[in-house]
Amino acid sequence: MGKITMADVAEKAGVSKSTVSQFLNKRYHYMREDTRTRIEEAIKELNYQPNYLARSLKQKRTSTVGIIVGNIMHRFSTEVSRAVEDYFIQHDVHTIVCNADNNPEKEKKYIEMLRAKQVDGLIIFPTAPNLDIYQQLIRENYPVVFMDRKLSGLKAPLVASENNEATWSAIQHFIDQGHERIAIVTEPLTISTRLERRDGYKQALEENGIEIKPDFLVSAEIKQIQQELEKLFAIESPPTAILAGNDLLLIEVLKFAKEKNLKIGEAFALIVFDNIPFAHLVDPPVTTIKQSSYLMGERAAELLLKQINNQKIEALEMRFPCELIIRDSSKRLK
């Protein structure tokens, strides 16, 4: 037997091809139950596989979207991607996840590749230098949502965390615990997320009349963090508290503390900005700033689907609050 067609299913079920088509496209709300059952049984018995390419050409859609994350190693990125996939699978839309490694050239190639595959829209964690490409997407009214990172001048939907406010709360917590020598450790300040977190750090110190010390503002690539922490703790009065900007930085801080035999919660207090699944298992349990990553992913997917369906979007920028989960690593200064 050759390839099973829609006509074969229709003949087996005793219905028209258009009825089978309506069923496959889930437009069967007014279809009789016995008709639906016959079509389902015919599809199963014949092992019919719908021709998605033909359907895409007819509908002028591929029922596929792309997600380009900055760094797939971040827990935040994986949680957002999972939420996007969960949302779209309910709408019979497939997702392709690409990891740009925060590399503009790699990101550009992924955008070009996904558009060549005619995906219906993109969710992008932007690297920043590809502003011309982003602008082109917007000019062409191509469905796109930017995630986590804000770029000035872009009039497109953005879903992000309240980074400034969340960081302010974390630093204020340190101050309430008696700390004044507080350091912040981030990756290079090349994206808005890190800049907003540093701004929140500075704001909290300024409002409490605490001097902002340049030595306590650490920004470096992950591979250089150990060296930067060495410098930080070599100064005459090292910090008594550290805010780590993400989960990968937390690992570097934990590694440094272990190698130097520094007890977290005693040698220095610690808070990390990210959803760390093992934070409560560390000794002592680590205080974290939890982002609404799953909800953010769902919202980004919803905004993208609205664009794909030519529906109106009420607001271009949506910010989600974070939650400070206090554990023993941010103890009161002794």
Mean pLDDT, residues 266-281 taken together: 90
Of 2-6, 199-203, 242-246, 328-332, the one with minimum mean pLDDT is: 2-6
- Bin 63: left if φ > 0, else alpha if -120 < ψ < 50, else beta: left
d(Cα 36, Cα 23) in Å, to the nearest integer? 7
Task: Please tell me the predicted confidence (pLDDT) of residue 59.
Answer: 56
Q: Please give the CATH superfamily to which domain 62-161+293-321 belongs.
A: Response regulator (3.40.50.2300)
Tens of pLDDT, residue by residue over 3-23, are 788 888 898 889 988 888 888
Q: Do 62-161+293-321 and 163-291+324-330 share a fold?
A: yes
d(Cα 152, Cα 146) in Å, to the nearest integer? 12
Q: What are the residue ranges spanned by the domains of the chain?
A: 6-50, 62-161+293-321, 163-291+324-330
Tens of pLDDT, residue by residue over 236-257, are 999 999 999 999 999 999 999 9
Maximum distance among all Cα pairs of the chain, rounded to whole angstroms: 86
Task: Please tell me the predicted confidence (pLDDT) of residue 57.
Answer: 47
d(Cα 103, Cα 144) in Å, to the nearest integer? 19
Top-tier CATH class for 163-291+324-330: alpha beta
Task: Please tell me the predicted confidence (pLDDT) of residue 281.
Answer: 86
d(Cα 253, Cα 288) in Å, to the nearest integer? 14
Residue 59 CA: distances (Å) to CA of 11, 46, 75, 247 = 24, 25, 36, 42
- Using the predicted structure, report yes or no on whether residue 54 has a pLDDT greater than 60: no
| Predicted TM-score of the model (pTM) | 0.82
Task: Please tell me the predicted confidence (pLDDT) of residue 46.
Answer: 86
Mean pLDDT, residues 149-165 taken together: 94
